[in-house]
Structure 1
Amino acid sequence: MSIANYIKDDLAARLRSGKALPMPLTLGSLAGHYQVSFTPVRTAIAELLEEGLLKKGANRRLAPATTPQTSAQGRSEVELPTPPRDYYQEIANDLVQQSLQGDSIYLREELSAEKYDISRSAIRHIFHRLAGEGMLDHIPRHGWLLRPFRQEDLQDFIEVREVLERKALDLAKDKLETQVLKKMLAANSLAKSSGDRPTVDESLHGYLITTAGNQYIRDFFERQGRYYQLLFQWEDHDEAAATETVRQHQSILNALINKDWREARKSLSHHICNNHPILSQIRSTTAGPRHKRVPSED
């Protein structure tokens, strides 16, 4: 089962049974919920629209096409599909861990295929996808070179991200829906007890970018943002970092709900530029990438 098929089947089961749906039903929110890029979400939504389980209203918002005719007992008995093994996500996460060590290493298709127990064509497809997102470089006759984490690259990305997300906010502000923002605010919650963890919901960023409607802003984040999105998700495993992320998201969302655009822009910039306490402490070399020579790959 592909990840797009899983998303479609999961949403279809929820729509038919009346089980809770990931809300809001937007590209950004669904991509955040399923932890994927926009591409498989678009595929799933297109098929659900064609099958009549979803519809678009006059304002182009997605909504369930029919009211499910299922009892509360039936809802509790519905089995949702099991997520497939996402080889792309698994490999990407592994490479992020290696990238953070600051060393550039060669990856061989044959050895990688054996490691993950998939075909060489499948691993090549994944590597091509990761190359398109800036994590790998294809070196003819040598294989694939992993991009090492560089502090200066992170700072360059943050600078461009701040400009583009602030622009997205300006373009989207008159189209933002208060109810959607309130749901995002509720989804970002601090730990309620000492044994609890804060809940981070990142869908705000995708919502702003999608609602802005600028394809070039969206393309930048789809192509360049994936590598850093994985880094930021890794960073949020730290409880203190996650707590600060939640507080900053709440600040931005409250300003947006109150239509205080000046404060929203200020809070968004602060969040983008000052929310990487762990990554900013990782040392990276400045003498160029270090890697081992490997034999040519046929």
Structure 2
Amino acid sequence: MTITEFIKSDVKAVLQAQGRLPYRLTLGAMSEHYKVSLTPVRHAIDELVEEGVIRRKDNGRLEAVPEALEGVVLESPKPDATESRLYDEIREEVIARSLNQDSEYLREQATAEQYGAGRTVVRQIFSRLAGAGLIEHVPRCGWRVRPFSEQDMHDYLDIREMLELKALELARGQFTDDELNQLLKANKPGKGAAKSELDFDLHDYWIERCGNRYIVEFFKRYSPFYNALFNYAVIDEKVKREMAREHCEIVECLLARDWKGARKALSSHIREQREAVSRMIEYLNAKETV
């Protein structure tokens, strides 16, 4: 079950049982309640609106429609924390193999024995990793890790910068101060001993609203693999703090309707990914020599 599916099912179950939700029906409040980024919340809301469980009022605010669930049989899901941890562990191993150009096939039974898990669970995790572009299934051979290529990364970032800047421009009319402020709240550079808060899905906000299906399809097809690497590259608080600061700079420019400043901040942020991945590779190489 994906995070989006869990949120949808939980919203329905709570509405049916209580007739109301224990939080404000906004992106920020739901993100904080479920302890996730804004993107899965946004997707869940869109699907709940389509199903009639939530409606958008004329002023853009959301309203629950508990009567839409009358007579509907629901089951309240319970996320499996153990499976979630296993997914993270296997994902980290796959990323490390990708960066190390490890061409050895992953096999379900061997991986299940390595982690003390069931083969069915491992197969489901491999399918999710394949959906993210990290591995691919080769019949009668197993699962092949996608090898990392530094040149491919540079080529991807060149195209990403052009298309994402275009998406930002096209999506201007779709931004609202309420949503931008929620994005700002989700990205907080840490101060002193306080840890930074970082929303890795910030970029989806303008990509999903740009109205250009070719741009959307490019990121849907190519970004999961590189996003997994870039997110994994946030190896310490210093890097995370700088990324949170860059995210805030972009959003603050959007709130001020400083389009030129937003483009400049976004361009600089994307180009920083090259250095982040380089630092990550150095970090992993250093760990291997210890």
Instruction: Give the letter for the 2:118 counterpart.
Output: I
Q: For residue 148 of structure 1, report the CA deviation from its aligned partner.
A: 2.4
- Structure ranking higher on relative contact order (CA contacts 8 Å, 6+ apart): 1
Partner of 1:70: none
1:274 aligns with 2:276: no
1:147-226 equivalences under 5 Å are 147-192=146-191, 194-226=192-224
Q: For residue 218 of structure 1, report the CA deviation from its aligned partner.
A: 2.0
Relative distance call for 1:157 and 1:102 in structure 2 (3 A) is: same
- Residue 203 of structure 2 aligns to a residue whose secondary structure is helix
Q: For residue 206 of structure 1, report the CA deviation from its aligned partner.
A: 1.0
Does the aligned pair in 2 maintain the 1:8–1:44 contact within 8 Å? Answer: yes
State the alpha-carbon separation in 2 of the partners of residues 190 and 229 from structure 1: 20
Q: For residue 159 of structure 1, report the CA deviation from its aligned partner.
A: 1.2
The superposition leaves residues 81-119 of structure 1 with CA deviations (integer Å, 9 ceiling, x where unpaired) of 753234655533431233233322211133234445234
Partner of 2:95: 96
Q: For residue 216 of structure 1, report the CA deviation from its aligned partner.
A: 2.5
Partner of 1:56: 56
Partner of 1:46: 47
1:1-298 equivalences under 5 Å are 3-12=3-12, 13=14, 16-19=20-23, 23-24=27-28, 34=36, 42=43, 45-47=46-48, 50=51, 52=53, 54-58=54-58, 63-65=62-64, 83-84=79-80, 85-86=83-84, 91-115=90-114, 117-120=117-120, 123-124=122-123, 126-192=125-191, 194-281=192-279
Instruction: Give the letter for the 1:224 counterpart.
Output: Y
State the alpha-carbon separation in 2 of the partners of residues 146 and 33 from structure 1: 30
State the alpha-carbon separation in 1 of the partners of residues 195 and 27 from structure 2: 21
Instruction: Give the letter for the 1:280 counterpart.
Output: S
Does the aligned pair in 1 maintain the 2:207–2:216 contact within 8 Å? Answer: yes
Q: For residue 124 of structure 1, report the CA deviation from its aligned partner.
A: 4.2
- Residue 202 of structure 2 aligns to a residue whose secondary structure is helix
- Residue 185 of structure 1 aligns to a residue whose secondary structure is helix
- Residue 141 of structure 1 aligns to a residue whose secondary structure is coil
Relative distance call for 1:229 and 1:263 in structure 2 (3 A) is: same
State the alpha-carbon separation in 2 of the partners of residues 169 and 234 from structure 1: 25
Relative distance call for 1:5 and 1:181 in structure 2 (3 A) is: closer
- Residue 184 of structure 2 aligns to a residue whose secondary structure is helix
TM-score, with length taken from structure 2: 0.74
State the alpha-carbon separation in 2 of the partners of residues 92 and 62 from structure 1: 37
Q: Which has the higher helix share?
A: 2
Partner of 1:71: none
Q: For residue 34 of structure 1, report the CA deviation from its aligned partner.
A: 3.5
Identity among equivalent pairs (%): 34
State the alpha-carbon separation in 2 of the partners of residues 168 and 142 from structure 1: 40
Relative distance call for 1:93 and 1:58 in structure 2 (3 A) is: farther
State the alpha-carbon separation in 1 of the partners of residues 88 and 161 from structure 2: 26
State the alpha-carbon separation in 1 of the partners of residues 104 and 110 from structure 2: 13
- Residue 275 of structure 2 aligns to a residue whose secondary structure is coil
The superposition leaves residues 183-234 of structure 1 with CA deviations (integer Å, 9 ceiling, x where unpaired) of 2123221223x32111112343111011112223222222221122222222
Q: What are the ranges of 5 or more consecutive residues in structure 1 without an aligned counterpart?
A: 68-79, 285-298
- Residue 247 of structure 2 aligns to a residue whose secondary structure is helix
Q: For residue 22 of structure 1, report the CA deviation from its aligned partner.
A: 6.3
